[in-house]
């Protein structure tokens, strides 16, 4: 065979066969794109802080940061003592401690939810009206003056009959207040609690559609989180996974699934002493949530612990170790977000998150660099692994565990490069997988 000539490859199927198969699968292709668009590629906060509607104030975020710093100063004043409490290695002690302090000073809360549900309780209508209007006013001012958390919003009352009208009114007052103050902020997040039936999600979608029409907003502008707090939200009476149907019922508006540790545990009859995010019942619920949400762009959040780091130093240390361990456990299971209920939880939230990303940074960066450069190594990574490695580094960058300069040095990649690896189009990933397998 002459130079430049290629050997003819024999085939048996007519081209029409492939065309017919493609035509028959066109509806499936469209369904895949609609139902499983993949991760939105936006920042996911590492936690959500809940503050009752009557407690929320203009200085809440700064106050939580100051209280968390005071707790560190009192109970673990330096890197060595903080590391000793949490069992951090010598290599991690100083960088984690320094980054935790810097985070508490600059961005103590990543996601704040003003609570009008369990944390607020039943109030006279006039009182809740005023609290909802005040929440809108304060959040709008925070975004305007640069003191807001990256994400802020409210948790309304649920769609069950006894509180439905009250929840709808509170949401209306809050959203209207934001619109009157200049518009909806980009970081707006809404939480719908105690969802049991997909029809309640459909009702929330209808409610938001009507608000968007009333205020001249683009259809689909307002999304919301679905809170999973009942057994029926995991397994329906007909044996189907209700949470998957809820995501479908949200019609693209669902942004997250939040696990409600204590309501869900109580629903199953778990006694109070054993209601925790690492109980087998919690693991099962979150695993179902995770599988139902995978590929849909809906993110899963773990719940909280009710053991507060207050009192004598020894008691605070015990609570810190518990919270740190639960957070690390959740991260290993790919639950990258959780709830924090007290300022004293924030130091260990960030310590756990920063340690998680820093201790795996060098290995992840090296593997991704080898993949990007098609170099050899002791692990043969697939495109899906490169996607996970890039996502890991991006999450570390977003929360402050990593710096873009050190990531660039270790990988030779820019943030845009990381984002391209982390969120490939479905066809690109499939084609790349075939190419990798063939080489």
The span from the CA of 399 to the CA of 44, in Å, is 9
Q: How many CA atoms lie within 13 A of 416 on its CB side?
A: 0
Mean residue pLDDT of the chain comes to 93
pLDDT tens string 155-170: 999 999 999 999 999 9
8 Å CB contact between 54 and 131: yes
Q: What is the model's pLDDT at position 381?
A: 62
In the chain, residues under CATH classification 3.20.20.60 are: 47-358
What's the mean pLDDT in 270-285? 95
Q: Please give the pLDDT value at position 439.
A: 31
**Residue 385 token pair:** 């692994």
User: Quick one: pLDDT at residue 377?
Assistant: 54
- C-alpha closest to that of 246 among 280, 316, 293: 293
pLDDT of 31: 93
183 has a pLDDT exceeding 60: yes
pLDDT at position 149 over 70:
yes
The answer to whether the beta carbons of residues 60 and 318 sit under 8 Å apart is no
Q: pTM for this one?
A: 0.91
Q: What is the pLDDT of residue 3?
A: 61
CA proximity to 113, closest of 131, 87, 139:
139
DSSP state of 378: S
- What pLDDT score was predicted for residue 263? 94
d(CA 423, CA 388): 9
**pLDDT at residue 436, as a whole number:** 34
Which of 435, 310, 425 is CA-nearest to residue 371? 435
Helix axes 313-332, 60-75, angle to 10 degrees: 110
How many other β-carbons are positioned within 10 Å of the β-carbon of residue 122? 11
Model confidence over 76-118: pLDDT tens digits? 999 999 999 999 999 999 999 999 999 999 999 999 999 999 9
The SS3 assignment for 82 reads helix
Read off the pLDDT band of 11 (50, 70, 90): confident
Flag whether pLDDT at 122 surpasses 80: yes
**Distance between CA atoms of residues 423 and 429, nearest Å:** 9
Distances (CA, A) of 58 to 107, 176, 242: 15, 19, 39
**48-67: pLDDT as tens digits:** 999 999 999 999 999 999 99
Between 85 and 426, name the one with better pLDDT: 85
| Per-residue confidence (pLDDT) for residue 312, from 0 to 100 | 97
Report pLDDT for 432. Answer: 39
The arrangement of strands across the sheet holding 111-115 comes to 299-301, 254-259, 224-228, 188-192, 151-155, 111-115, 47-52, 338-340
Lowest mean pLDDT among 35-39, 46-50, 140-144, 381-385: 381-385
pLDDT of residue 284: 97
Residues 37, 38, 42, 48, CA torsion sign: positive
Q: What is the percent of the chain where pLDDT is above 70?
A: 93
Burial label for 326, CB within 10 Å (0-12, 13-18, 19+), is buried
**Rounded to an integer, what distance in angstroms lies between the CA atom of residue 88 and that of residue 259?**
28
Q: Does domain 47-358 have CATH number 3.40.710.10?
A: no
Q: How many residues does the chain have?
A: 439
pLDDT of residue 90: 95
Contact status, residue 411 vs residue 368, Cβ threshold 8 Å: yes
pLDDT at residue 431, rounded to an integer: 38
Q: What is the pLDDT of residue 380?
A: 53
What pLDDT does 2 receive? 57
Name the pLDDT band for 424 (thresholds 50, 70, 90): low
Per-residue pLDDT tens digits for 197-254: 999 999 999 999 999 999 999 999 999 999 999 999 999 999 999 999 999 999 999 9
Report pLDDT for 429: 42
Are 389 and 421 spatial neighbours (Cβ–Cβ below 8 Å)?
Answer: yes
Q: For 360-408, how does the pLDDT look when each residue is reduced to its tens digit (9 = 90+)? A: 999 999 999 999 887 555 555 678 889 999 999 999 999 999 999 999 9
The answer on pLDDT for 428 being more than 90 is no
């Amino acid at each position: 065979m002459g130079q430049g000539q290629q050997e003819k490859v024999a085939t048996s199927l007519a081209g029409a066969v492939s065309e017919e198969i493609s035509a028959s699968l066109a509806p499936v292709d469209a369904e895949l794109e609609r139902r499983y668009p993949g991760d939105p590629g936006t920042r996911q906060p590492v936690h959500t802080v809940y503050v009752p509607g009557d407690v929320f104030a203009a200085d809440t975020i700064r106050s939580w940061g100051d209280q968390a710093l005071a707790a560190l100063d009192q109970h673990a004043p330096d890197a060595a003592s903080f590391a000793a409490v949490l069992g951090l290695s010598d290599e991690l002690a100083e960088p984690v401690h320094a980054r935790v302090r810097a985070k508490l000073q600059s961005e103590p809360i990543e996601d704040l939810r003003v609570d009008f549900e369990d944390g607020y309780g039943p109030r006279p209508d006039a009182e809740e009206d005023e609290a909802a209007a005040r929440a809108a006013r304060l959040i709008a001012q925070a975004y305007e003056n640069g003191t807001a958390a990256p994400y802020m919003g409210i948790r309304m009352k649920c769609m069950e009959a006894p509180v439905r009208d009250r929840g709808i009114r509170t949401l209306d007052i809050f959203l209207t207040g934001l619109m009157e103050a200049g518009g909806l902020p980009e970081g707006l997040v809404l939480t719908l609690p105690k969802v049991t039936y997909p029809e309640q999600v459909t009702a929330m979608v209808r409610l938001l559609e009507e608000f968007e029409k009333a205020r001249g907003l683009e259809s689909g502008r307002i999304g919301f989180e679905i809170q999973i707090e009942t057994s029926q939200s995991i397994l329906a009476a007909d044996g189907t996974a209700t949470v998957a149907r809820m995501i479908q019922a949200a019609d693209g508006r669902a942004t997250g699934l939040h696990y409600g540790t204590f309501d869900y545990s109580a629903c199953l009859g778990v006694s109070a002493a054993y209601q925790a995010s690492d109980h087998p019942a919690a693991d099962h619920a979150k695993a179902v949530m995770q599988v139902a949400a995978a590929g849909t762009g809906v993110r899963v959040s773990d719940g909280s612990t009710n053991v507060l780091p207050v009192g004598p130093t020894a008691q605070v240390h015990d609570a810190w170790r518990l919270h740190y361990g639960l957070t690390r456990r959740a991260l290993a299971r790919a639950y990258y977000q959780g709830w924090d209920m007290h300022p004293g939880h924030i130091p260990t939230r960030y310590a756990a998150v920063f340690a998680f990303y820093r201790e795996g940074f060098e290995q992840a960066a090296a593997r991704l660099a080898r993949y990007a450069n098609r170099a050899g190594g002791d692990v043969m990574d697939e495109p899906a692994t490169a996607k996970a490695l890039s996502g890991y580094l991006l999450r570390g960058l977003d929360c402050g565990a990593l710096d873009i300069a050190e990531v660039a040095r270790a990988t030779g990649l820019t943030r845009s490069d990381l984002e391209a690896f982390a969120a490939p189009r479905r066809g690109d990933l499939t084609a790349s997988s075939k190419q990798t397998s063939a080489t």
